[in-house]
A and B are shown apart, each in its own frame.
Chain A
Amino acid sequence: MAADAAQVEGIMNPGQAVQQGISFRRLSELLGTDCGPVPVSSKVLLCRDGQELVGFCVDALEAIGPLATEVLRLLPELLLRLPGARPFWGAFTRGKDVVLLIDLHRLKGLKSYKVAATA
């Protein structure tokens, strides 16, 4: 998946985030997907939530780079109309693959995020 770089205030290792007192959650955990142990390649994407920085830990950072807006597609209508909050808004193809575009701010709307925040 991919996120708009404008939403990312910084990138650091999980250890650095702990040292700096930045709270973070594993993205796969928030999205309810299978997540094994945190891989050594994991990185924390920092996102601003009001005055505070929050982190989302991803298993690996593959690339940072520009992308032509013409290649971006909205998610199919059916997926956009499904009830319930979802953080994905679009996608683009890369070879035979599909890369999902995630809105990091929408993660706060997920039940899993709210549960973690109140826990």
Chain B
Amino acid sequence: MRDMRSSELIIEELKKQREKGPTVNVELEMVKIVIFRLADSFFAFPGGEVKEILPFMDIFPIPGSPEFIPGVINNRGDIESVINLNGFLGLAAGQQTSSSRILIVSASGMRSGIAADEVLDVVDVPCQTIKPPLLTLDNDRKELVSGELLYNDRTIVMLDIALLFRKLCTPDE
């Protein structure tokens, strides 16, 4: 008796769905991003370009390197450069705390660590939530920005790693 009722309910539901017409299965295209903080601003890299997230560790300075390269790290026997983006993006200097991290990123055949004051999240977001960058951004920042999105009521600025590497390796004119 109970089975009969169940099957009747299912048939009834199917009838209702047929009356509503065909449903469209909308699958949003998602992208994984790594959200991090530099000073009081929030940024993100595409997740596919972030290879590792390391705890902050000793940085060995390389004499003669520009200010935005504090040095190299010993990542389990691999030597990785580290970039400090704060000054490069016109932000206040970050402070090293227990939340500080080094993101190992890779793009255009280059790889480097990026010092971050904090990594907030690694999350999948719909591609359509990433909007073009605001025109009001200053020039230093704008040319490295691939988009912006709102996440937990915060504006997150998406950075283009390949453009960043290219800019770092281009002599100032």
- Measured between alpha carbons, how far is A71 from B69 in the docked complex, in Å? 24
Number of interface residues of B (CB under 8 A): 27
**Is there a chain A Cβ closer than 8 Å to B65's Cβ?**
yes
Whether the pair A93, B64 counts as a contact (CB closer than 8 A) is no
**Is there a chain B Cβ closer than 8 Å to A84's Cβ?**
yes
**Is there a chain A Cβ closer than 8 Å to B74's Cβ?**
yes
Shortest C-beta distance, A33 to chain B (Å), equals 5
Whether the pair B170, A83 counts as a contact (CB closer than 8 A) is yes
Whether the pair A82, B111 counts as a contact (CB closer than 8 A) is no
Shortest C-beta distance, A78 to chain B (Å), equals 5
**Is there a chain A Cβ closer than 8 Å to B63's Cβ?**
yes
List residues of chain A with CB within 8 A of the CB of B165. 78
**Residues in B44-87 with C-beta less than 8 Å from chain A:** 58, 60-66, 69, 72-74, 77-81, 83
Whether the pair B109, A77 counts as a contact (CB closer than 8 A) is yes
Whether the pair B65, A100 counts as a contact (CB closer than 8 A) is no
Whether the pair B62, A79 counts as a contact (CB closer than 8 A) is yes
**Is there a chain B Cβ closer than 8 Å to A91's Cβ?**
yes
Assuming the contacts A32-B64, A96-B58, asked whether A75 and B72 have C-beta atoms less than 8 A apart, the reply is yes
Residue of B nearest to A99 (CB): B60
List residues of chain A with CB within 8 A of the CB of B90. none
Convert A15-37 into 0s and 1s, putting 1 for each residue whose CB lies closer than 8 angstroms to a CB of B. 00000000000001001110000
Contacting residue for A32 out of B63, B69, B79, B109, CB 8 A: B63
List residues of chain A with CB within 8 A of the CB of B78. 73
Contacting residue for B69 out of A33, A73, A82, CB 8 A: A82
- Measured between alpha carbons, how far is A83 from B171 in the docked complex, in Å? 6
Shortest C-beta distance, B95 to chain A (Å), equals 22
Whether the pair B64, A78 counts as a contact (CB closer than 8 A) is no
Convert A92-110 into 0s and 1s, putting 1 for each residue whose CB lies closer than 8 angstroms to a CB of B. 0100111010000000001
Known: A33-B61, A81-B169, A91-B72. 4 other contacts (CB 8 A): A82-B66, A82-B169, A88-B64, A91-B79
- A-B interface, 9 closest residue pairs, ranked by CB to CB distance from nearest: A31-B63, A83-B171, A76-B81, A98-B60, A81-B169, A78-B81, A78-B112, A33-B63, A93-B74
List 15 A-B residue pairs with CB atoms under 8 Å apart, sorted by A's residue number.
Answer: A28-B63, A76-B112, A78-B110, A78-B112, A78-B165, A79-B62, A82-B66, A82-B169, A83-B169, A91-B72, A93-B74, A97-B60, A98-B72, A98-B73, A98-B74
**B contact residues vs A (CB 8 Å cutoff):** 58, 60-66, 69, 72-74, 77-81, 83, 109-112, 165, 168-171
